[in-house]
Structure 1
Amino acid sequence: MSDRGRALVEVLTLFGLGSDADAVYRTMLRNPQAGIPQVADQLGWHVDQVRQALDELSRLSLVRPSWEVPGRYQAVAPQVGLAVLLSRQEAELRERQERVAASKVALERAIEEYAEIQRHQQYAGVEQLLGIDAIRGRIEALAHEARSEIMGFAPEGAQTPENMTASKPLDAEIMRRGVLLRTIYLDSITKDSSSMSYAQWLVEQGGEIRSIPVLPLRMIIYDRKVVMLPMDPENSTAGAVLLRGVGVVTALCELFERVWTSATPLGAAAGSTDDGLTPQEQAVLRLLAQGNTDEAVARKLGVSVRTGRRIVAGLAARLGAQSRFQAGVEAARRGWLDAAQQAPRADNVARASSHQANSPRDPVTTC
């Protein structure tokens, strides 16, 4: 093929011409008097294949019916046919540009209307979110707006496959933008391979992960300016609130930092007391001393009731106790309760931070 022929092929391809139509068009340009049978012979095709190519060329205005011979087609000169085709594509492009411009106007109007709705929904720095759709939508928007850091408590224990699948693209996009992601999970995730794989993936992407036996509630902090909390800590699906007040956000940032300091980095071995109590066992003793049932203990540890009871039974056996009451007495006699009460704990920190938020101190913009 000559350089001129190759140039024509490139031009026709740019205009969206298929390979069959391209071959027929160039054959007709070389042989203006050839009819459909002759074109088919020259190309070694069936006449139906040539007719299909002619249909495409006709739609593109590159062939026209002959004025002299009925049933024959004439190739339109490239400088004419391609100019018509170019004008058509330019018109389509202008139409698309107009639709894009109209879409931008509509989007700006929708954003303004949504912002107005949000302003009406907010009261004294508090915004309520009702339902999973509203919560997930707000999480996506806040994550997209985050610029420096997102901190969170994840107190559910083993993460569900659905939750990890939904979170992974969002987490990846956050860290790709250089936003620091710090999350504290329950120690119980170390017993779940899927949750651990996800946590390790977060670390590989640049996130920082730690764990602790018990967390007070689910919480997400965006850029130390906005905090999302569940309306009901026992049922995170019931709804959520967004808090923007400087005082309460400062206190909750302090809560996170204190719990972060006492939590164990992912993969590191947790320490134990002189009596051999693990952080999880210390947490169980605290929860039992507070009067929690086996079910409540298991839920706060993020484990099954069966596992929670096994931990309680193990402690009772080590204490040589036959009942909860006897176990409590013996634990107090050995000083285990004192050790457990003195250990860093998220619930004490939460109460201290809550008091701090309500104390008459000078407000600060960040924590």
Structure 2
Amino acid sequence: MGLSAGDEDLYRCLLRLSEGTPADLAAHLGRPAAEVGEWLDRLEGMGMTSLSDNGSIRPAPPAIAVQRLIDLRVRELREELTSLAAEQRVVESLLAERDAVRPTAREVSERPAIERVEGTPNVRAVIDELTFFTRQEGLTTQPHGALSAASIEASRPLDARILRRGIRMRTIMRPAAVEDAPTLAYLQEIAAMGAEIRISDKPLERMLVFDRTAALTPIDPQNPRLGALVIRETGLVANLVSLFERMWSDSVPLEDAVAARPGPEGELSEIERKVLATMYQAEKDESGAREVGVSVRTYRKYVADLMQRLGATNRFQAALLARDHGWI
């Protein structure tokens, strides 16, 4: 996994000792301090050790250490294969095979600004190709809420590939996605990898946008299996991006939506209780939002909803009524 015998011996020694100084480790291993110092530098570079407050060296937990080794090896392998493919001009060779029976580059550049692609397999092939050439950002909306098991399995490798390449990925889902355990687990999985997920309780238009230069929308929103329209017209794509940004601004972060789920038997959610607790204490919405851990916009939305539920005319009255209800 990329460790030398000395690196591994040192890490195992640290696990046995819990922590130690370079001199301690050299004594336990019976190796020269300079050699142990080189091993320590390598382990630190791989994220397998950390420095404690007292200056001692601590090992990273085994599960984390192994995952970091795996990530390093995967990155090295990817770089090696990418370099090899470039040196041997693999893509160019395969494109030459394809273009022998496909339109020329000039014909491709002159294809319609809007193309009709019918059938799920053909649509997926277009998405794969556009995803492969995406370099900066991918925008997606899912107006149907929960994802099927097949959709999750098909999306997982594509989404992971995009995020590993450092591409920004933003997705808007419906509230049903938060209520469906498999969908929520998948969204939290890709969010941990860097994806930005938001939940909207307003109608969504289905779209995928790649680098703001190409977009896909369904031919028939009521029958997505029919196929998709591939749009490359600059003005139309820009309008779709503007629509996405409006839907994005009307949505809330995934973590806020999860925290806002109602408690059992219609009880307040955890985040609603926190908002109530700050409503009459925080001098400004900014400080209240900061204390709750949400954006100011989201905080104000919760305040308005709670005041409406309580029938309060001001925030102080809302807090008093909430106490009368036993909410806080």
Give the TM-score normalised by the residue count of structure 2. Answer: 0.48
Q: Which has the larger radius of gyration?
A: 1
Q: Tell me which of the two structures has the higher relative contact order, counting C-alpha pairs closer than 8 angstroms and 6 or more residues apart.
A: 1
